[in-house]
């Protein structure tokens, strides 16, 4: 992956949001466990984490245009389904969904990774365009606007619910390139999801770098943090 990366061609970078630039704080498992506790249901956060990962990975809901198609309504239905799967014990599932939807739409429940803003600044100083490209929904605009270190660094946010297709669909990456005003072979995708951010980007004709913040057990080519992306670029320049 990064071995074949031709930096001299790259004029724009699309950064994934969750796991790449920002992370939920408290964790997703903690937030769901607390939502259940508010309804008198005590759950083990480890169990909740396992259920969430399984539910998040299965594509439960899709839009009218088929596989990976989406919009705001589809995303709400998708998350309602995920909450129902993760917390089947709660007496009021609508309340759990409403609370969690609101929770993850608030900037104070997200933390920007410390390497994000310096890396974006270095990339921009190198003359490249930067945007955020995410499978989050319209709530991401408010989340980013409330996180000054990100809001000041990145102006363009491309969200799948507004594009009409989720990553790893090629149409999502097509929309990213359009927003950046660059052809696909001039754009680099960086993110923590191998299928969404790397394989999908490659299929759409972009370059890609896999971000593996916890090291990479599979031995795939990856970068451990966003600072390394900027450093790789500087080393090639
Ligand atoms: Mg991610």
Quote the ligand 1 centre to 172 CA distance (angstroms): 15
The pLDDT-based confidence of 138 (bands split at 50, 70, 90) is: very high
Give distance in angstroms: CA of 27 to centre of ligand 1: 14
List pLDDT tens digits, range 52-73. 999 998 866 777 878 899 999 9
What is the pTM for the complete model shown? 0.94
Average pLDDT, the chain: 93
Alpha-carbon gap, residue 234 to 237, rounded angstroms = 5
Q: Which domains does the chain have, with CATH numbers?
A: 2-21+113-236 (3.40.50.1000), 25-108 (1.10.150.720)
4-32 pLDDT, tens digit per residue, is 688 889 999 999 999 999 999 999 999 99
Q: Which two tokens stand for residue 224?
A: 């451990």
Please tell me whether the peptide bond between 168 and the residue prior to it is cis, using omega within 30 degrees of 0.
yes
Residues with Cβ within 8 Å of residue 195, at least 6 apart in sequence: 168
Mean pLDDT value across residues 152-170: 95
Q: How many helices (H) and strands (E) does the chain have?
A: 11, 7
What does the pLDDT read at residue 120? 94
Backbone angles phi, psi at 111, to 5 degrees: -125, 140
Whether residue 138 contacts residue 158, with contact meaning beta carbons closer than 8 Å, is answered with: no
93: enclosing H helix or E strand: helix 93-104
Cα 91 to ligand 1 centroid, rounded to whole Å: 31
pLDDT at 216 over 90: no
Cα of 7 from ligand 1 centre, angstroms: 23
Q: How far is the CA of 236 from the centre of ligand 1 (A)?
A: 26
The predicted structure's pLDDT at residue 1:
46
Query: Which residues keep their CB under 5 angstroms from ion ligand 1?
Result: 16, 18-19, 192-193
Question: What is the per-residue pLDDT for 231?
Answer: 83
CA of 167 to the centre of ligand 1 (A): 10
pLDDT at 184 over 60: yes
41-50, 169-178, 224-233: which has the minimum mean pLDDT? 224-233
């Amino acid at each position: 992956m990064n071995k074949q990366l031709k930096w001299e061609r790259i004029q724009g970078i699309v950064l994934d949001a969750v796991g790449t630039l920002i992370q939920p704080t408290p964790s997703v498992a903690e937030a769901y466990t607390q939502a259940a506790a508010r309804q008198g249901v005590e759950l083990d956060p480890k169990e909740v984490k396992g259920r969430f990962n399984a539910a998040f990975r299965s594509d439960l809901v899709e839009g009218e245009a088929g596989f990976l198609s989406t919009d705001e309504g589809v995303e709400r239905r998708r998350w309602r389904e995920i909450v129902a799967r993760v917390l089947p014990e709660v007496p009021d599932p609508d309340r759990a969904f409403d609370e969690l939807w609101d929770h993850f739409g608030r900037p104070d429940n997200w933390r920007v990774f410390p390497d994000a803003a310096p890396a974006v600044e270095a990339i921009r100083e190198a003359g490249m365009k930067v945007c955020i490209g995410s499978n989050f929904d319209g709530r991401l605009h408010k989340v980013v606007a409330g996180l000054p270190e990100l809001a000041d660094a990145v102006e363009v946010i491309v969200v799948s619910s507004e594009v009409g297709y989720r990553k790893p669909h090629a149409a999502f990456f097509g929309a990213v390139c359009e927003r950046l005003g660059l052809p696909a072979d001039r754009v680099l995708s960086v993110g923590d999801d191998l299928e969404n951010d790397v394989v999908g980007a490659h299929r759409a004709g972009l370059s890609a770098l896999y971000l593996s913040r916890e090291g990479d057990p599979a031995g795939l080519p990856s970068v451990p943090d966003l600072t390394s992306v900027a450093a790789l670029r500087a080393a090639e320049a």
